Amino acid sequence: MQKDLGHYRKSYEKSALIEDAISENPMELFQKWFYEVEASEGIDEPNAMTISTIGVDGFPKNRVVLLKKYTYEGFIFYTNYNSEKGKAIASNPNVSISFFWPNLERQIIIKGKAEKIAENLSDGYFESRPNGSKLGAVVSDQSSVIASREVLEEKLTALEKEYSGKEIKRPDWWGGYIVKPVSMEFWQGRPNRLHDRIRYSLEDVDWKVERLAP
C-alpha cells in the first residue's frame, strides 16, 4: 500500500503572533486564543486536547481528552486513575498536552507535570455530570481488555437498576489531574512556512519569552 501526500499544501495567512502584542503570562495568551476559537466557526470541541505520556512499557502514547478547567496554575482534566494514562502519570508525571485549532491555523504545545487535584474538587465535578456519564465512569474498567461490548451494556443496565432513584457517588479511582506547565509554545501559521513560534519557559516564578525558528 502506498499513497503520496506530497501535493497536500496550504498557505497559512489568517493571523500573526508578534511579541509586542502578547502578555507576560502565557495563561493570559492561552485565554485570549481560547476565547477567539470559541467565537469562531468550525471547531466542535475547542477544549479537545492531546495528552502525551510515557507508558510503563517505555513508549510514548498520545490520546485526546477534554479540558474541563484552566486557571493560572494549569489545565484540569478527568479520567480513571487506574487507566493506562493514569498508570503512566503515576510512573512519570512529566506530560505534554497540545491544542490544534486548524480553523485559526494555531496550535499550542505545553510541557508540564500532572498531579491529582483535591478530592472535593473531583467530587464537585462528578456531581455536575449527567447520570449517564456518572454510570459510564463506574462501569468502565478503563484500558482493561473485555470480551465484547455486550459486557459493558449488560453491566450498565444492571447499574441503572441498582442506582435507580439513588445518588451516584464518585468512585475513588476516578478524578481529576492538573497539568502545571513549565513550558508553553504558541504556534501561528504564516505564509511560506515561516510560522510564528513563541515559547514561554518557566524560570522560578517568572516566564522567559523566546521566538523559535519555524
Catalytic residues: 193
Number of C-beta neighbours around residue 144 at 10 A: 10
| CA 108 remoteness from chain centre | 11
The Cα–Cα gap between 200 and 207 comes to 6
What one-character-per-residue DSSP string does the chain give?
Answer: -----TT------S----GGGS-SSHHHHHHHHHHHHHHSSS-S-TTEEEEEEE-TTS-EEEEEEE--EE-SS-EEEEEETTSHHHHHHHH--EEEEEEEEGGGTEEEEEEEEEEEPPHHHHHHHHHHS-HHHHHHHHH--TT---S-HHHHHHHHHHHHHHTTTS--PPPTTEEEEEEEEEEEEEEE--GGG--EEEEEEEETTEEEEEE---
Q: Which three cell numbers stand for residue 90?
A: 503515576
